[in-house]
Amino acid sequence: MTLVVRDEVDIVDAQIEYHLNAGVDFVLATDHDSRDGTTDILEKYARDGYLRLFRERGEMRESEWRTRMARLAAVEHGADWVINTDGDEFWMPRRGTLKQALVAVPNDVGIVWALTRHFVPRPEDGGFFAERMTARLSLDAPLNDPTSPYRPHAKAAHRADPRIVVLFGSHDVVSDLKRMHGWHPADVLHFPFRAREQYERKGVRRARGDKPLGQYVKAFEASERGRVEDAYGSLVVDGAIMARGLVEGSLVVDTRLRDALRELHGGEGNVLAAVPGTVEEDVRAVAEETALYEANLVRARRSIDVLNARLGVLEEHAGARVPARRIRHESERRVEGRM
């Protein structure tokens, strides 16, 4: 497993512990200048021989760091498969164990995706996040609001490849490996915001340069205006919202992570039991996969619109519009090796 993390002391120990007991054999972690005790946790796992630690400061270069670790997993650590994670993500197999899910992938396939399932913050009670946050969104239509932390997406897992390039966010990779779309052997249980203070700290840091996505810019602007309580409060699911969401089907109770961590802490700390799948969960997953497909179409259209706008600017600077027929003709000649 590769891990890029910064200031996630409330969750990173559970994240690493879970994965080491769920089938991950070794962790390569990059600590990006943590100041809250995260580094101490990573160093402990490194001393125990379960983790290789890299330290980085300055500008966020996630794709570069992730790619370095994924390649080292292939050439120095004997990996078969690599999963790429953040500190607030937990790879949970749909059925069986994580290793069983990846072993089931046909030999000629090298890239699969896990569907991200977003958990919502609940009122703070001083308790452990996994005990408190057992509700997640289950939407059959995509959220396309760029400021929402709950937009549908998936995370890539890949066979070990010394030439792999892991892209920003680990949502995709560049590789000659064959891809398998439409089947998600695991879920990524995602806990992005867990407490008011963590929401503000994460949003401010990332909006200033780590990862300036809309959701973090929104948190930063709320901090600047002294409105963090309102901004974070709009995400918190209290009892009344929970009851309404369960009836409507937009929220579901999902205790898989809570139960897995209870099993680890209450038992002897050995490998987690296989996850039993259910028909109900399969149906929900299909609905959410459909929402992901629709969201990807919207993203593709936005990308095309941006490219068209840039092309228009270039054409204006060039002083004349290049006929599409000419562009197509010259492309065909290049492919045929005539230019």
Same domain for 63 and 95: yes
Do 93 and 260 form a contact (C-beta atoms < 8 A)?
A: no
What is residue 206's predicted lDDT score, i.e. its pLDDT?
A: 77
Q: What is the DSSP pairing of strand 186-190 with strand 89-93?
A: antiparallel
Identity at 314, one-letter amino acid code:
L
pLDDT digits (tens, 9 = 90+) for 109-135: 999 999 899 999 999 998 999 999 999
pLDDT of res. 303: 62
Specify the range with the lowest mean pLDDT, choosing from 60-64, 158-162, 189-193, 216-220.
216-220
Amino acid at 17: E
Residue 292 and residue 114 in contact, taking contact as beta carbons nearer than 8 Å:
no
- pLDDT value, residue 215: 80
240 part of a folded domain = no
Answer yes or no: is pLDDT of 339 > 50: no
- Is 7 part of a structural domain of the chain? yes
pLDDT tens-digit readout, 238-253: 999 999 999 998 899 9
Question: Taking a C-beta distance cutoff of 8 angstroms, is the pair 251, 137 a contact?
Answer: yes
* CB-based contact 164:173 (threshold 8 Å): yes
Mean pLDDT of 47-58: 96
Domain for residue 280, yes or no?
Answer: yes
pLDDT tens sequence across 290-334: 566 655 655 566 567 657 767 776 776 776 554 555 444 444 444
Q: Is residue 314 part of a domain?
A: no
Per-residue pLDDT at 225 exceeds 80: yes
Same domain for 168 and 230, yes or no, is: no
**Could you give the CA distance from residue 70 to residue 177 in angstroms, rounded to a whole number?**
14
Residue 34 belongs to some domain of the structure: yes
- The answer to whether residues 34 and 140 belong to one domain is yes
The SS3 call for residue 98 is helix
Domain boundary among 234, 263, 297: 234
* Type and span of the H or E element at 301: helix 279-318
Say whether pLDDT at 336 is over 60.
no
Mean pLDDT of 102-106: 92
DSSP 56-75: E-SS--HHHHHHHHHHHHHH
Instruction: Pick 284 or 22 by higher pLDDT.
Output: 22
Residue 154 lies in a domain: yes
CA distance 86 to 253: 23
pLDDT at 334: 41
State pTM to two decimals: 0.81
- In a domain, residue 243? The reply is no
Q: What is the CATH number of the domain that holds 53?
A: 3.90.550
If you average pLDDT over residues 274-302, what whole number do you get?
63
Decide: residue 4, CB within 10 A, 0-12 exposed, 13-18 middle, 19+ buried. buried
**Per-residue pLDDT tens over the stretch 159-185:** 999 999 999 889 999 999 999 988 888
Q: Is residue 242 part of a domain?
A: no
Residues of the chain with pLDDT > 90, as a percent, come to 56
My answer on whether 93 and 52 are in the same domain is yes
Alpha-carbon distance of 182 to 337, in angstroms, equals 36
Measured CA to CA, the distance from residue 334 to residue 234 in angstroms comes to: 54
Residues 85 and 221 in one domain: no
Domain co-membership, 167 together with 116:
yes
pLDDT 10s digits, 35-46 = 999 999 999 999
Do 226 and 107 share a domain, yes or no? no
Structural domain harbouring 226: 195-234
**What is the per-residue pLDDT for 319?**
63
Compute the average pLDDT of residues 9-19: 97
Q: How many domains does the chain have?
A: 2
Reading the block at residue 38, the tokens are 């995260």
More confident residue, 215 or 246: 246
Burial bucket for residue 332 (CB in 10 Å: 0-12, 13-18, 19+): exposed
How far apart CA 84 and CA 265 sit, in angstroms, is 25
Are both 222 and 95 inside the same structural domain? no
In this structure, the answer to whether residues 158 and 174 fall within a common structural domain is yes
Straight-line distance from the first to the last Cα atom of the chain, in angstroms, rounded to the nearest whole number: 45
Q: What is the pLDDT of residue 4?
A: 96
Residues 15 and 49 grouped into a single domain: yes
Could you give the C-alpha distances from 259 to 26, 92, 130, 193, 199, in angstroms and in order?
23, 12, 9, 20, 25
211 and 90 together in one domain: no
Query: The tokens of 88 are what?
Result: 């607030």
Residue with tokens 């937990």: 90
Q: What is the pLDDT of residues 131-156, one digit of tens each?
A: 999 999 887 655 566 677 788 788 99
Quick one: pLDDT at residue 335?
Answer: 39
Q: Which two tokens stand for residue 202?
A: 């994460």
Pair 85, 139 in one domain: yes
